[in-house]
């Protein structure tokens, strides 16, 4: 399996306490288009830190494609907001990255990992926890044919406490 690592560090990032990350349940969902299946993975602690000591969160994307295609994926790092918890909608965008997968020489499975600091976005009611998830849309190119962008697919949520 090939691995790609992308680091995305938004400007003006607030520091996070170095506390463990709590994982929330459902499983990731996948989308298939142009012969490729992409899955936005649940965000997890990477074990890496910024020079300021802020933990980097890993936002994985798995692509499974046949030979002869390239994939352009638009990945957004989101914070889930709910009326019950925060009285604050819609979800907050914490950053986004474009990731390219190249399957022109061989088909198979590739994983891209976007590393980013979770940006605190919530009001006091949220108690500074961020409910991070990976949100993904993609399109596939095969020769001169380009598929339309897929509907966005959301990963499972990870609660990142301060």
pTM of the model: 0.75
| Residue 131 main-chain phi, psi, to 5 deg | -100, 85
Q: Looking at the DSSP assignment, which residues form a beta bridge with residue 72?
A: 100, 139
| pLDDT score of 63 | 97
Contact partners, residue 51, CB within 8 Å, separation at least 6: none
- The pLDDT value given to residue 131: 81
**Domain 2-10+31-149 class, CATH top level:** mainly beta
pLDDT at 46: 86
Query: Which residue from 27, 24, 93, 35 is spatially nearest to 63, judged by alpha carbons?
Result: 35
Contact in structure between 160 and 21 (CB atoms under 8 Å): yes
Please write the tens of the pLDDT for every residue from 139-149: 999 999 999 99
Sorted by where each begins, the domain ranges of the chain are 2-10+31-149
Question: Measured in Å, how far apart are the chain's first and last C-alpha atoms?
Answer: 34
Block means of pLDDT (10 residues each) for the chain, length 162 residues?
A: 49 34 52 95 88 86 97 91 60 88 97 85 60 92 96 88 59
Residue 157, pLDDT score: 87
d(CA 36, CA 52): 38
């Amino acid at each position: 399996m090939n691995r790609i690592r992308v680091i995305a560090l938004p400007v003006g990032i607030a520091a996070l306490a170095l506390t463990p990350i709590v994982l929330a349940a459902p499983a990731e969902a996948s989308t298939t288009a142009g012969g490729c299946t992409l899955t936005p993975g649940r965000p997890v602690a990477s074990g890496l830190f910024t020079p300021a000591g802020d933990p980097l969160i890993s936002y994985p994307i798995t692509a499974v494609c046949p030979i002869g295609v390239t994939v352009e994926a638009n990945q957004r790092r989101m914070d889930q907001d709910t009326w019950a918890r925060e009285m604050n909608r819609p979800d907050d965008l914490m950053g986004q990255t474009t990731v390219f997968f190249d399957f022109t020489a061989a088909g198979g499975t590739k994983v891209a990992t976007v590393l980013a600091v979770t940006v605190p976005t919530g009001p006091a009611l949220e108690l500074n926890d961020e409910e991070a998830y990976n949100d993904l849309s993609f399109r596939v190119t095969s020769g001169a044919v380009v598929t339309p962008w897929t509907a966005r697919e959301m990963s499972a949520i990870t609660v990142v406490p301060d």
